[in-house]
Structures are given as structure tokens and as C-alpha cells.
Amino acid sequence: MKLFKKPLDRNKSLLLAGLLAAIAIGLMGLYVAVISPKLVVPAETYTKAVKLYETGDFKEAALKLETIKDYSDAETFAKRAWRMAGESAFNAGNIEEAVACYARSDANASELRRVDEAFLSLAEQNFKKGDISRGEIYLGCVQDAEAHSDRINGIRLDAAKRLLNGREGLFDDFMPVRIRIGTAEDLLASCGEEYRSEAARLLYENGEDLLTVYETDGAYASFAAAKRMCPRENTATLIAMINDAWNKAGDRAMNEGNYSAARRCYAMVGSLPNPEYGDENDSERYNRAVALCDEGDFFGALAVLETLEEDYEDSARLIQWIRSAIQRMPAAGARGLYALRFPDGMVEAFGNDAPFTETIGGVYTAVGFEPFILIVNANGEVLSFGESGVGRIDVSGWTDIIQVACGGSHAVGLRSNGTVVSTGFNMYGQCETSYFQHVISIAAGENTTYVVTDEGKVYAIGDNSSGQCEVSDWSDIVSVSAGLDYAVGLRSDGTLVACGNNSSFQCEVDNWNNIVQVSCGANHTVGLHGDGTLIASGNNSFGQCEVSGLTGVAAVSCGDGYTLVVFSDGTVRVIGSFDAGAAD
């Protein structure tokens, strides 16, 4: 038996060694799988975060702590680190980063004041750069607006002053004076009732400044805005001051031999009716309105006519004619390009893609979804500007034209005899217009052409991939407006009908009524009610449909991502993003 004792002991030793090795491996696995990630790694990360925090690298410390939220007080420590990161960024002037850090710090009431301060600073920076839309967004983020009302009003007031003073860098070169005044008025109106007297004073003084260079359209717009902002008890005094300013400007122009400017200034005296004197002689006001029309000042004439009795003389007919003329004023189209035909008959182009910088006389204008412009002059000839690809601006032979329409890469013209001419890209047959007759109005989509006949029928040719040419059952139509791949028709009773792409609900116009003008952008539709308000539907990626609160609107035209609005006092505003295209 002793012969077998040693081998058995050796086997026991081997078995014991194997068991110990298995236990060691298990413990190592336990360490790797459980102990290290639960205790060792978090502890090391926490230690690194503490060192980062102590050296002032609060943001990196917070990021590391957020990876081990369940370890010790890491979650609370992370919020404190984010708060300190926000303070550091704020003190360094990096306000946007400060806001982001504060938002992750789970700040208490006291610390939220710093968040509001950050938003206010961001708003102030953007207002000073001229980005008023973004500035207003940041002001809207202030949580305790009431506590910061003085600061908020001060920011808006300062921006309005900068707009009115025309300080360099606050607005783009293409921004007309009317838009600057309208934007300043919006800012001032947002300041609250207690600022109305100050707002009226600023706008009045701006009108006076504009009269020093005989900028009568701008002065009228500024005076009209001042009247709207003025407390009613001070309106009579303000009207007297405005009339005095017009008279003095007229006298100065006469002394300088500038008779044209003198006539414009004298004609504006009394153009803003004083509500305290509503019983002024209707005959005098009517004659003044007719004189203003003869001078080409449709806005001044309209303001006077609207104070008359509804049935006085032929005031109703004259008002309708003026409104129709004003509706032809705005022409929106491509990204970064629109045109305005002012009451004096001059056309200006605005935007980074503007193909001309001077003013050009014209009776009708249109802008394409690509950057090109057509202008009909008084002789019925057509002037063309912009990108000339695929022959879309080859209009030199067109004569006797009364209306033009621009698509994406083609152009259409309506002759006074009711026939139609066209040029440009014709892949879909959108330029096969020679057989049309008795046409009273035209429109163009990206690759489609629409004509309205004297019987109220509509015919469409071109691309029909989205059903945008399905107009055969339309009737009693007075005009059509076309988007990229859809169209809307205006009936004589003020209702609408639509066809084509409705992916953004741009064709949801069936329930609209009392519409006097409709306009289609790339993918959004805006209608003008008879009472001067607007309604919109469709793509709103850039806020181009946010027009429901506007009043006193006289004309509207929709482009790619923006809405161009003309008010009855002559001011012009762009709603949406002028330099960005509409989302598909």
C-alpha cells in the first residue's frame, strides 16, 4: 500500500492547484466585469474630474462626471461643474456656450437669472449685428421677461434707433427705407404702451430727417408709423407738426429750385387725416386724393380716400383702381431676389442676386424662381435681366406686351390683343403658347404655363407630374398664381381653387373667402382679404406663413422661402428668410 501513496498525493496537489487557478481566474473575471467598472474605473474617472475641476477646466470635468452619474456624488458634482463652466464661458464672452452649460446645470432660481442674462446678452449682440429675427428669438427665451422688461425694451429701442439712423452694418444694403421703418415700428410697438410717445417722437424725427433729402416716400411711411404709435390724446398735435414739416420742406425745395420735390411735399400736406377733424369737407379731400393720384402717390391718395363717405363721387371705383395698381407693386421670386415697382413708376431690384442696381421705368414686372427679372415698359416692350440660361430672357422681339410671368427657366408675355408669347426651357411644352387667344391674365410655375381667358376659363400646359395642370373644371377665374408645382385660382366671388403638389398643405385654400389677391411662393400660399388682413398655408420652415397678425396690407407677393408684404401706408416688409430657399 505504501507503494501507491506518493502518486495520490501528487494528484491531490495538481487538483488543488487547478482549483486555485480557477478561483483566481474567476476573481479576475469578477474584477474585470463587476468591480473595475463599478468601483475602480469610476473612482479613476472621478479623480480625473476633480483634477480638471481644480484646474478650471469645468466643461471637461462635467463631461467626465456625466459618464459616472451613479458613482458617489458625481451627478451633483457634474451639475456644479456645468454651472461653473457656464460662468466661465459667460465671463469670457462666449454667451452661446454659457447658455448651453447653464441649461445642463439644473440651475436653481438664482442661477436661472444668469441664464436669462445670457439670453439677453445674445439678443443684444444679434440686434447690434442687425439679425433682428434671431435677436427676438433669444428675447423669447428669457424666462422672467417681466423682471427684465426694462432691459428688453431698451434693447429693442436701441435697435429701432439704429435702424432709423441707418447705422452701418445693421441692415443689408438691399433693405429699402420702407422696410427699415416697418421693422423699427414693429420693435417700438413691442416695447409696450409706456413707450408709445417716445416711439412716435423717434419716427416723426426720422421723417423730418428724410425730408432733408426729399425722400418723400420714406418720410410719409415714417410719419404714418408715428401716427399709429402716437397716443390718441397727442394725435392732433402730431398731425399739425407733420403738416408743418411737409410745408417747410416744400418751401425749402422751392427756394432751391427743386420744383418736383416741392410739389411732392406740398401734395402730402393733410395726407394723414386728423381724427379730431373728421367733418373736414369731403370735396376738398377728394380733390386732394385725385391730385395725389396724378402725382403718382397712390398710398397718399388711398389714405385720403378712405376717410370719405363710401359712396362719395366715384371714390369706391378710384379706391379699387388704386388698390389694383398697388397690388402690382411687389414681385417676389427666387432666393435672394425680389423687385418693387414704386408709385412713381420706377422699378428697383433687391437682393444679393439683383441683376441691376439703378431704377428702371416700368408698368409691370415679374421675377422668376431662378434669378431673372422681366420689366414691361410704357411702350409695351420687355426688358430682361439676370441669368440667361436656356434662352429665358430672350425677349427682344416681344412687342405690345401688357403682362409678363416668369417660371423656373421660361418666360411668358401677354399681348394687348389677348395672345401669348413665350421663350426659354420647353422640355415639357410649357412654351407652346402661340395658339392661345382671348387671354386676360397669365402665370408661370417652374415648368408650367397658365392662361386665364375672358370667359373665366383656365388652360395649363407643361409639366403635370404633380397634377398642377388639372384646371379644366375651373370656372369664373379672374387670376391665377403658380408655385413650383402647384397653382391657385382666384374666383370673382373671392373664393379659391387649387391643384398640384399639396405635400406642405399649400393647396389647402378651399375654405378661404373674401380674397382680393392670392400669391404662391415655392411651396406656400398667401391670400389678401378685403379688410387688409392675410391668411397663409403651406411650408413654414422660415416663418414665411406667419402673417396672420398683420393688418393694413395692400399687396402681397410670395417668393422662395419668404413673403413680400406692402402696407397701405407704403411700407414694405419681408416675412421669412430672404436669403434662404424654401424646404422641399
Asked if pLDDT for residue 584 goes beyond 50, the answer is no
Query: What's the confidence (pLDDT) of residue 466?
Result: 96
Of 77, 101, 69, 67, which is closest to residue 87 (Cα–Cα)? 101
Residue 254: band (very low, low, confident or very high) from pLDDT cuts 50, 70, 90: confident
Please write the tens of the pLDDT for every residue from 354-413. 888 888 989 899 999 999 999 999 899 999 999 888 999 999 989 999 999 999 999 999
Query: What's the confidence (pLDDT) of residue 481?
Result: 97
Query: What's the confidence (pLDDT) of residue 105?
Result: 75
Fill in the DSSP letter of residue 141: T
**Radius of gyration from C-alpha coordinates of the chain:** 34
Residue 103 cell numbers, joined? 441649461
Query: What's the confidence (pLDDT) of residue 4?
Result: 47
d(CA 35, CA 44): 13
DSSP H or E stretch at residue 47: helix 41-54
Asked if pLDDT for residue 168 goes beyond 50, the answer is no
Please write the tens of the pLDDT for every residue from 275-309. 544 445 677 778 888 888 877 778 778 777 876 76
Least-confidence region, from 17-31, 51-65, 407-421 = 17-31
Asked if pLDDT for residue 482 goes beyond 80, the answer is yes
Of 534, 582, 575, which is closest to residue 132 (Cα–Cα)? 575
Residue 476: band (very low, low, confident or very high) from pLDDT cuts 50, 70, 90: very high
Residue 581: band (very low, low, confident or very high) from pLDDT cuts 50, 70, 90: very low
Q: What percent of the chain has pLDDT over 90?
A: 36
Asked if pLDDT for residue 18 goes beyond 80, the answer is no
Q: Quick check: helix, strand or coil at residue 379?
A: coil
Least-confidence region, from 52-56, 135-139, 432-436, 494-498 = 135-139
Least-confidence region, from 39-43, 175-179, 503-507 = 39-43
Q: Quick check: helix, strand or coil at residue 115?
A: helix
Using an 8 Å Cβ cutoff, are 116 and 148 in contact? yes
| pTM (two decimals) | 0.56
Asked if pLDDT for residue 424 goes beyond 90, the answer is yes
Query: What's the confidence (pLDDT) of residue 109?
Result: 55
d(CA 567, CA 156): 22
Query: What's the confidence (pLDDT) of residue 52?
Result: 86
Asked if pLDDT for residue 1 goes beyond 60, the answer is no
Query: What's the confidence (pLDDT) of residue 70?
Result: 78
Instruction: Count the Cβ atoms, other than its own, within 10 Å of residue 464.
Output: 17
Please write the tens of the pLDDT for every residue from 448-460. 999 999 999 999 9
Of 372, 432, 439, which is closest to residue 407 (Cα–Cα)? 372
Using an 8 Å Cβ cutoff, are 573 and 561 in contact? no
Give the contacts of 512 (CB within 8 A, at least 6 positions apart).
495, 496, 527, 535
Query: What's the confidence (pLDDT) of residue 41?
Result: 65
Residue 580: band (very low, low, confident or very high) from pLDDT cuts 50, 70, 90: very low
Residue 315: band (very low, low, confident or very high) from pLDDT cuts 50, 70, 90: confident
Query: What's the confidence (pLDDT) of residue 35?
Result: 46
Residue 534 cell numbers, joined? 392675410
Q: Which residue has cell 439679425?
A: 131
Helix and strand element counts for the chain (H, E): 16, 22
Asked if pLDDT for residue 95 goes beyond 70, the answer is no
d(CA 564, CA 521): 10
Residue 167: band (very low, low, confident or very high) from pLDDT cuts 50, 70, 90: very low
CB-count exposure of residue 202 (10 Å: 0-12, 13-18, 19+): buried
Which residues face 12 on adjacent strands? none
Using an 8 Å Cβ cutoff, are 265 and 300 in contact? no
Residue 145 cell numbers, joined? 421677461
Average pLDDT taken over every residue of the chain: 83
Residue 231 cell numbers, joined? 397716443
d(CA 261, CA 267): 10
Q: Report CA-CA distances (Å) from 517 to 42, 229, 326, 493, 556.
A: 67, 28, 11, 12, 8
CATH level 2 (architecture), domain 329-576: 7 Propeller (2.130)
* Mean pLDDT of the 432-447 span: 96
Using an 8 Å Cβ cutoff, are 183 and 163 in contact? yes
d(CA 117, CA 346): 47
Using an 8 Å Cβ cutoff, are 195 and 157 in contact? yes
Residue 66: band (very low, low, confident or very high) from pLDDT cuts 50, 70, 90: confident
Residue 110: band (very low, low, confident or very high) from pLDDT cuts 50, 70, 90: low
Q: Quick check: helix, strand or coil at residue 37?
A: helix
350 or 264, higher pLDDT: 350
Using an 8 Å Cβ cutoff, are 299 and 570 in contact? yes
Residue 204 cell numbers, joined? 416723426
Asked if pLDDT for residue 83 goes beyond 90, the answer is no
Q: What are phi and psi of 56, to 5 degrees?
A: 90, 5
* Boundaries of every domain in the chain: 15-107, 176-323, 329-576
Instruction: Count the Cβ atoms, other than its own, within 10 Å of residue 88.
Output: 17
Using an 8 Å Cβ cutoff, are 235 and 277 in contact? no
Query: What's the confidence (pLDDT) of residue 108?
Result: 59
Q: What percent of the chain has pLDDT over 70?
A: 86
Query: What's the confidence (pLDDT) of residue 159?
Result: 84
* Mean pLDDT of the 509-535 span: 95
d(CA 546, CA 535): 9
